[in-house]
Structure 1
Amino acid sequence: MSKPKQYVSRAGTLQEAMATVAKLAGVVTEAIGRWGEVEIIVRKREKRRSWEQNKLQRKWCAEAAAQGDMTAEEYRGFCKLHFGVPILRRDSEAFREVYDRLIRPRDYAEKLELMQEPIDSQVTRLMTAAQKTEYLDACWQHFTSLGFRLTDPNLKGMDPAQYKEAA
């Protein structure tokens, strides 16, 4: 039997929350019918990584590829494995369990391949904005310590905590 899918609704305003509450009775009725028992959780929403952060990550990988000996996708896979996986393993018990069971036992070359297209294991897509900032900091440190020149998010007075693209 497949694991039931959870119902998630996000609200940033009282109006959005009330719209969700209006749907809740039907969702709970269906869930109890399918699963018997349900758990209802209300918690603070952690903002996911931003489009700007993702765009900067891709830009840095392309810049590294222009200066190094790997493709942008290979650098992306390297960063996901070396910087992203440790962050998610530290912060998510569910990620750590699945990663350790399915990917950790594999050899290094296979792990790198699993991080890249076409498999493209989810790593940065699962991150909060704060985790993605930590990830980008690690990427910046790594590449600039090797002498790579990357777009600096501090240009044009931009806050490095937000990693807005400066180019």
Structure 2
Amino acid sequence: MSSTEKISVNSSLKLSQAITMLTAMYKQNRFVVVSMRPGKDRTLDQNALWFALYQRIAQMTGMDDVEDARRYCKLHFGVPIMRAADADFREGWNRLFLHLDYETKIRLMGACAMFGPDGFPVTRLFNRAQGIAYTDAIVAEFSGKGVVFDDLLSEVAA
């Protein structure tokens, strides 16, 4: 079990799993910090859609795999959204990353020792509107390159 666990409780089964995880962590460590808040994790649906978009992009373009598509989208669409929306993000990006070569920037968007398995934080910082803008930007760019997303987007609308 890793040092930090996150679980969304949305059913009796998930509640049972959360209690089991908490109990196991307590037995192993004797000290556990628990944070809870009511509500739905707004990113779950968006993350599932984004992963499906990345899969489709990888299947229908010359990108090597899903992770390449994810890194590309984070750098080309996510970073500009955050730079436009958040002065602190923009200032930090400009000071620390703007001067880096493209290969380094794209590599930092994926799993790396410095930022962990999800890479440089971009999409996890989005609010709902920014997430929608990100989705729209991905669809606009890759639809123009022949990637078909209609089935994936109709599932979201349903």
The answer to whether TM tops 0.5 is: yes
Helix, strand or coil at the partner of 1:104 = coil
Query: Unaligned 5+ residue runs, structure 1?
Result: 1-46, 160-165
Counterpart of 2:47 in structure 1 is 54
Alpha-carbon separation, structure 2, partners of 1:108 and 1:50: 28
1:103 aligns with 2:102: no
Instruction: Using the TM superposition, give the Cα deviation of residue 82 of structure 1 relative to its aligned residue in structure 2, in angstroms.
Output: 0.8
Q: Is the 8 A contact 1:49 1:130 kept in 2?
A: no
Helix, strand or coil at the partner of 2:62 = coil
- RCO higher in structure (CA 8 A, sep ≥6): 1
Helix, strand or coil at the partner of 2:100 = coil
Query: Unaligned 5+ residue runs, structure 2?
Result: 1-39
Q: C-alpha offsets along residues 52-71 of structure 1, whole Å, 9 cap, x if unaligned?
A: 11110011101111122221
Give runs of ≥4 in structure 1 deviating > 3 Å.
151-154
Instruction: Using the TM superposition, give the Cα deviation of residue 48 of structure 1 relative to its aligned residue in structure 2, in angstroms.
Output: 7.8
Q: How does 1:2-151 map onto structure 2 within 5 Å?
A: 49-70=42-63, 71-118=65-112, 119=115, 120-150=119-149
Instruction: Using the TM superposition, give the Cα deviation of residue 122 of structure 1 relative to its aligned residue in structure 2, in angstroms.
Output: 0.3
Calculate the TM-score normalised by the size of structure 1: 0.62
| Aligned-residue RMSD, C-alpha | 2.0
Instruction: Using the TM superposition, give the Cα deviation of residue 149 of structure 1 relative to its aligned residue in structure 2, in angstroms.
Output: 1.7
Helix, strand or coil at the partner of 1:152 = helix
Q: Is the 8 A contact 1:48 1:129 kept in 2?
A: no
Percent of aligned pairs sharing the same letter: 37
